[in-house]
Amino acid sequence: MIERVFALVGSAARFVPALVVGLVALASEGSAARPEIGVWYDDSAQGAVEIYICADNPNRLCGRIVWLKEPLNAEGVPKHDRYNPKPEQQARPICGLPVLWGLGLMSDGTFDGGQIYDPKTGKTYSSAIKLAQADKLVVTGYLGMKMLGKSFTWTKAPPDLQRCEGAPPPA
């Protein structure tokens, strides 16, 4: 009987998901080990998002806006989160705005299970990201099923990109 228990435990240990190993690697290797970490131009090239390890969960990735091609509105005032469905958050500046959170490392090396906020519409979607090339990141926003979502390609920004006023220092 004890031999069967040890055999079962041994079998289970051989099949520990790569996800667990990946999450430990994300938390312990540091930002240089994850090519997704850094600053990325969005698909419109009108803004750039810094992706970093979330402060509240070292096994997840988050992102915030750190550059805007046009940081001021028509009145010359810094742009704010005016489309946010919560009136109390409509005064938040776009520069520095958190737009990605909770992306967890999957066994295939992609990140999923997160959320993405679109300040152009005030809507939040489930999100996933996948490194397509060293300088290309595929960002998918979806409701329910990922395969019915919409994907966008972001491009790696240069390391010396000037951060917009109000953006926190690099993570």
Domain locations along the chain: 2-156
CATH architecture for segment(s) 2-156? Beta Barrel (2.40)
DSSP annotation of 128 reads: E
User: Which residue type sits at 35?
Assistant: P
Reduce the secondary structure of 14-57 to three states and give it as a string: HCCCHHHHHHHHHHHHCHHHCCCCEEEECCCCCEEEEEEECCCC
* Nearest-angstrom CA–CA distance, 55 and 41: 22
Block means of pLDDT (10 residues each) for the chain, 171 residues, are: 41 38 44 83 97 94 97 94 97 97 96 97 97 97 92 96 88 74
Q: Which residues pair with 49 in a beta bridge?
A: 40, 65
Q: 139: how many CB neighbours lie within 10 A of its CB?
A: 24
CA 35 to chain centre: 12
**Pair type for strands 98-105 and 38-41:** unpaired
pLDDT at residue 53 in the model: 96
In the block, tokens 């060293």 appear at 134
The pTM of this model reads 0.80
State both tokens at 103: 């992306």
